[in-house]
């Protein structure tokens, strides 16, 4: 027994060392696939290899079959037929309209009740296609068996109830037939904002989308749509089906088909080792496509369709080829964005030339644990969202393909560089495409988050500063770090523990030697308003003496090895050695997981303990590409290949639900950080960009990566400050802190083998510089919180690319080394060694926008500016016309700032006006949602027409309470607020001030003290309650 245990431990150490031993090189590319090593990508990409012009399509839309649903006029459906093959697919096409200018296009194989859904009375060709499709199943048991399994449709992502309320009817459904032009079906409706939306579908399956009569997107313009339908394996196919009595004409046609098949079989035998190719022939001057999709062994079936190998791993595919491809052309755009997460520029680069030549690998979307990832790469990383935006000055068009399987996307510019061609390729699932016909980036992101949900408002401590490393050794180490922050007067809110805090990598446990009193440790932190986060990964050590594993086995909540009857749990290697993975696809398993966070289950946990979900791609050290095998099986019998990218999001969801459920009344908001993510992750917590390196270029890459993630709806995102791998020099670490303080998730983190780098260890003057950088986060903390509330309401990410707020300014379209925090702070991190200045672009200047340096309080001129950037600060500018509430008193943590006063920093625009908002709630509970316990204030400075005075007003813009409970909750919250305004600073004044007068809500007036220097008006100690109505009049001399 001891010998067996020793061997297991030795094997575990060997695997872990191989996976995680430090290296002097970057990512090992041999561990990860390229497109030509992926069967489905190879097949799909080959279709677009000839050129970037339109190719003849192998699919035909039976336009007469396209009818509005009799009970739902927002839905039009009909048949698509793969037209060049006697056994080609017959597919169901559905188009649905939504009020927020979103159109949903779905293509799937025919369901069993297709005949009842469709109205084919006037379309004899569609009737024949349906009868042929049904006859195939009637005549072949193998075909029936293959079709009995539906294709996977992604669950748990869409906001179904909210979406249903936004459905709107198509006002017009018109069919044009005959003539020289292809037949065309036109669907029209108006969005809630009055925008005219039109969808045009022609018989060759080109689908054009128009907004206010402007073409913005075409699907299948290049004829690359491909749908590998369900089919039996060659071994299961009955060679000659039993035929029913046929008319003579059909028998003659069948004999001709058999002769054609025989000829094709001979060609297939010669070509069986080649990838599928599309050939064309001319018939009557029209190109006609020939693509084989027959049940016998064809090109598509021999090119990795039923089985393929990668390294030492064999991918068994019992359900055969199921890939889908589609080309989407964005009209009038030179830049497309999205497809997070990739270590690349914000604007996606071309992966193919206009002529079809390969320039780069396609952007890959497949959640993977990529050790020491490289930059300027299209490789897959830890999380992905299949959303893309094409932007031009007057419009933004978004596309979201709801598909959680592995996906690759090619990008190419048109010859004239006025359009972007994209080619999307997914391994399985259905085509479930949402097209956002938006007028701006803000509207496009709002439409997308209307589908998948907005960023959940985090507890306030979660957006403050976090201190982490792998690993703090023991409770004494934790106490020393805690004391070090206080000794050096540096604020922080959360201290993190990595995997070494557990009992042998058994999650939900503590190392009893080093962390013997975890509750006392957490309570010591909480005494100063600080929290703790511990890591909990999805792999569970297979140890019969480990209670969590015992409970998981008994509950049957693990992912299974394969789809065979009575298959055991999947067994792979990760940090604990032999492990199994919880199946978060199962609602039962998610609830089981949530239950593990109960205080009596997770012993040693307290209400101030929160969670970090790592390794949840999932990472499997001995798996293909360091992940789980694709033929592993989840709840419902679905293979991992169908839903791989969904796994991490569902784990984070279950963890967040566990944190909520552990407290009586379910009153407290959760905080969960996840490495893996997918569409909808934003509803459950935060993510970070993974295992970066202590290098200047990795620091610089954080900005475009986070901007892209934000456009994917996940506003709560960050990068490890200082870099996970390597030892940063103090200058690099300082510049990273200065940048991280102005990014949504602010955490320092380092690898086990790196030197300690707490912000006082480098000595002076570095300690002072680090302190000031971190304090900047706390100065703007309530502004960040207000932006997160905006994100929850509108979907707008707190960290934004410049074109988000300046959509018509072309100079901003490719900028990604500077960004906006909200609409009013422009941040330009310093990302090169030795720099004491940097070039900054100031948007909007040509239209009169003013910008002010927040450090010097002086206006700066643009649009091009060489900004000073000495070591003690990074360039940050506030926009003219804005009001930002700052808290400038130094405290230990955000909890101790709860009642601190505010300074209103006002930067006036050219007209002398400014406005800004402030959101307040208790910072930790759901009371703001459940009982209306929050407040929203708006500060407006405006010049009175015809009067020599500007008036600053504090306005209550809190939405009216709808119920008595909400009214009471709002009143109780207002009574608890102690904050006031202790200082008003007005920048950009160009007149001399004679006096400043306060008018309170009841009408009394008071003179206020002020000073005016270099255009900066400082009003001292007005002591104005933040939630009361008042006005301040600035009278000009």
At 394, list the tokens. Answer: 């007057």
User: What single DSSP character describes residue 448?
Assistant: H
Rounded CA gap, 78 and 94, in Å? 7
Question: Residue 509 has which token pair?
Answer: 């446990």
Assess whether 691 carries a catalytic annotation. Answer: yes
Instruction: Please state, in angstroms and rounded to a whole number, the distance separating the CA atoms of residues 514 and 475.
Output: 6
Tokens, residue 576: 């604990």
* Angle in degrees, 0-180, between the axes of helices 781-794 and 441-452, rounded to the nearest 10: 70
Sign, CA dihedral 649-650-651-652, equals positive
Respond yes or no on whether the N-terminal peptide bond of residue 483 is cis (omega within 30° of 0): no
d(CA 886, CA 854): 12
Among 918, 820, 785, 908, CA closest to 857:
908
The alpha helices in 864-939, defined as continuous H runs, are: 927-930
* 686-688: strand order across its sheet: 717-718, 686-688, 672-674, 609-613, 531-535, 494-497, 465-467, 746-748
Catalytic residue among 268, 691, 720, 853: 691
Distance CA 131, CA 150 (A): 20
Question: What's the sign of the alpha-carbon dihedral 685, 691, 695, 697?
Answer: negative
163, 451 in Cβ contact below 8 A?
Answer: yes
Please name which of 205, 206, 202 lies closest in space to residue 218, comparing C-alpha atoms. Answer: 206
Q: Taking CA 262 as the corner, what is the angle to CA 261 and CA 264, rounded to the nearest 5 degrees?
A: 60
Query: How many whole angstroms from its chain centre is CA 87?
Result: 39
Element (H, E) at 1025: strand 1016-1025
Given a contact cutoff of 8 angstroms between Cβ atoms, the answer to whether 827 and 874 are in contact is yes
How far is 623 from 632, CA to CA, in rounded Å?
A: 11
Apex 519 CA angle, 514 and 525, nearest 5 = 95
Question: What is the rounded CA–CA span in Å between residue 484 and residue 258?
Answer: 82
Beta strands of 427-555 (E only): which ranges?
431-438, 465-467, 494-497, 531-535, 539-541
Indicate the Cα dihedral angle 143, 148, 149, 155, nearest 10°: 140
Cβ neighbours for 676, distance < 8 A, ≥ 6 positions apart? 367, 382, 383, 613, 616, 617, 618, 647, 648, 649, 651, 652
Q: Which helix H or strand E contains 623, and what residues bound it?
A: none
Beta strand 102-109 with 172-176 is unpaired
Single out the catalytic residue among 344, 614, 642, 824.
614
In the sheet that holds 75-82, the strands lie side by side as 59-68, 75-82, 90-98, 102-109, 431-438, 395-401, 387-392, 335-338
**Contact in structure between 785 and 919 (CB atoms under 8 Å):** yes
Peptide bond into 618 cis (omega under 30): yes
Residue that the structure tokens 């006025």 belong to: 418
Residue 850: φ, ψ to 5°: -105, 150
Strands 825-827, 819-821: parallel, antiparallel or unpaired by DSSP? antiparallel
Helices 730-740, 766-779: inter-axial angle, 10-degree rounding: 10
Q: Does residue 503 contact residue 509 with C-beta atoms inside 8 Å?
A: yes
Widest Cα–Cα separation across the chain: 103
Name the residues annotated as catalytic.
614, 691
């Amino acid at each position: 027994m001891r010998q067996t245990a020793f061997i297991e431990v030795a094997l575990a150490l060997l695997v872990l060392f191989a996976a995680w031993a430090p290296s002097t090189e970057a990512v090992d590319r041999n561990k990860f696939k390229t497109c030509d090593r992926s069967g489905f990508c190879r097949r799909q990409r080959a279709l677009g290899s000839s050129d970037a012009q339109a190719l003849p399509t192998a699919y035909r839309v039976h336009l007469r079959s396209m009818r509005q649903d009799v009970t739902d006029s927002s839905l039009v459906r009909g048949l698509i037929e793969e037209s060049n093959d006697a056994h080609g697919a017959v597919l169901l096409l559905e188009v649905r309209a939504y009020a927020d200018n979103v159109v949903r296009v779905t293509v799937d194989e025919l369901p069993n009740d297709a005949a009842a859904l469709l109205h084919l009375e006037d379309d004899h060709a569609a009737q024949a296609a349906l009868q042929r499709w049904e006859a195939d199943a009637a005549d072949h048991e193998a075909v029936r068996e293959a079709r009995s399994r539906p294709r996977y449709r992604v669950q748990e992502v869409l906001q179904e109830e909210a979406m249903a309320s936004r459905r709107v009817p198509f006002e017009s459904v018109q069919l044009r037939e005959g003539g020289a032009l292809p037949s065309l079906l036109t669907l029209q409706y108006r969005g809630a904002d009055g925008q005219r939306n039109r969808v045009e579908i022609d018989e060759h399956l080109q689908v054009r989308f128009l907004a206010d009569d402007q073409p913005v997107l075409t699907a299948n313009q290049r004829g690359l749509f491909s749908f590998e339908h369900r089919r039996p394996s060659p071994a299961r196919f009955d060679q000659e089906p039993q035929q029913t009595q046929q008319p003579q004409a059909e028998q003659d046609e069948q004999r001709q088909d058999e002769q054609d098949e025989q000829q094709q079989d001979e060609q297939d035998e010669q070509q069986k080792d080649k990838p599928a190719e599309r050939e064309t022939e001319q018939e009557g001057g029209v190109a006609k496509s020939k693509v084989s999709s027959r049940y016998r062994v064809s090109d598509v079936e021999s090119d990795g369709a039923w089985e393929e190998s990668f390294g030492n791993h064999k991918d068994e595919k019992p359900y055969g080829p199921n890939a889908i491809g589609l080309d989407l052309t964005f009209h009038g755009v030179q830049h497309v964005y999205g497809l997070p997460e990739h270590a690349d520029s914000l604007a996606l680069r071309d992966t193919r030339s206009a002529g079809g030549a390969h320039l780069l690998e396609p952007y890959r979307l497949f959640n993977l644990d990529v050790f020491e990832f490289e930059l300027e790469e299209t490789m897959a990383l830890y999380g992905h969202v299949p959303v893309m935006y094409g932007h031009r000055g007057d419009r933004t068009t978004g596309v979201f393909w709801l598909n959680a399987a592995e996906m690759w996307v090619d990008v190419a510019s048109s010859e004239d560089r006025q359009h972007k061609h994209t080619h999307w390729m997914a391994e399985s699932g259905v085509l479930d495409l949402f097209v956002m016909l938006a007028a701006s980036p803000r509207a496009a992101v709002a439409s997308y988050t209307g589908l998948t949900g907005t960023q959940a408002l985090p507890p306030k401590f979660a957006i403050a500063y976090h201190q982490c490393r792998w690993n703090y050794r023991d409770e004494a180490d934790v106490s020393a770090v805690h004391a070090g922050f206080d000794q050096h007067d540096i604020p922080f809110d959360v201290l993190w523990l990595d995997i070494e805090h557990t009992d042998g990598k058994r999650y939900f446990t503590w190392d009893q030697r080093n962390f013997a009193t975890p509750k006392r440790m957490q309570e010591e932190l909480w005494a100063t308003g600080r929290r703790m986060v511990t890591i909990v990964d999805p792999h569970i050590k297979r140890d019969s003496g480990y209670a969590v594993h015992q409970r998981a086995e008994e509950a049957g909540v693990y992912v299974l090895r394969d789809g065979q009857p009575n298959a055991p749990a999947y067994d792979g290697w990760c940090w604990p050695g032999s492990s199994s993975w919880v199946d978060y696809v199962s609602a039962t398993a998610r609830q089981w997981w949530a239950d593990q966070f109960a205080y009596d289950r997770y012993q040693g946990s307290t209400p101030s303990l929160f969670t970090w979900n790592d390794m949840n791609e999932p990472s499997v050290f001995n798996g293909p590409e360091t992940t789980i095998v694709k033929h592993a099986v989840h709840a419902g019998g679905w293979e991992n290949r169908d839903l791989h990218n969904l796994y991490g999001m569902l784990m984070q969801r279950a963890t967040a639900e566990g944190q909520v459920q552990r407290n009586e009344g379910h009153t407290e908001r959760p905080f969960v950080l996840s490495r893996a993510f997918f569409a909808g992750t934003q509803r459950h917590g935060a993510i970070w960009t993974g295992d970066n390196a202590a290098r200047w270029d990795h620091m610089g890459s954080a900005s475009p990566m986070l901007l892209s993630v934000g456009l994917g709806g996940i506003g709560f995102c960050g990068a490890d400050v200082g870099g996970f791998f390597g030892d940063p020099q103090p200058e690099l670490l300082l510049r990273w802190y200065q940048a991280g303080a102005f990014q949504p998730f602010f955490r320092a983190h380092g690898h086990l083998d790196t030197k300690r780098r707490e912000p006082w260890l480098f000595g002076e003057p570095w300690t002072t510089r680090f302190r000031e950088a971190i304090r900047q986060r706390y100065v703007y903390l309530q502004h960040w919180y207000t932006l997160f509330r905006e994100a929850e309401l509108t979907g707008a990410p707190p960290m934004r690319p410049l074109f988000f707020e300046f959509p018509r300014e072309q100079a901003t379209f490719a900028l990604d080394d500077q960004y906006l925090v909200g609409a009013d702070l422009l941040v330009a991190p310093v990302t090169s060694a030795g720099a004491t200045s940097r070039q900054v672009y100031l948007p909007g200047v040509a239209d009169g926008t003013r910008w002010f340096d927040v450090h010097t309080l002086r206006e700066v001129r643009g649009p091009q500016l060489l900004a000073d950037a000495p070591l003690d600060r990074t360039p940050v500018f506030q926009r003219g016309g804005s009001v930002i509430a700052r808290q400038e008193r130094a405290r230990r943590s955000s909890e101790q700032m709860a009642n601190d006063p505010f300074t209103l920093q006002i930067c006036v625009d050219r007209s002398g006006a400014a406005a800004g908002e402030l959101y307040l709630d208790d910072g930790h509970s759901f009371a703001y949602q459940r009982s209306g316990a929050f407040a929203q204030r708006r500060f407006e400075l405006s010049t009175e027409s015809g009067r020599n005075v500007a008036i600053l007003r504090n306005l209550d813009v809190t939405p009216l309470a709808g119920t008595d409970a909400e009214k009471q909750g709002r009143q109780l919250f207002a009574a608890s607020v102690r904050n006031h305004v202790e200082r008003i600073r007005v920048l950009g004044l160009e007149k001399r001030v004679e006096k400043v007068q306060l008018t309170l809500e009841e009408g009394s007036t008071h003179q206020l003290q002020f000073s005016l220097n270099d255009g900066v008006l400082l009003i001292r100690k007005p002591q104005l309650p933040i939630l009361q109505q008042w006005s301040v009049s600035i009278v000009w001399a």
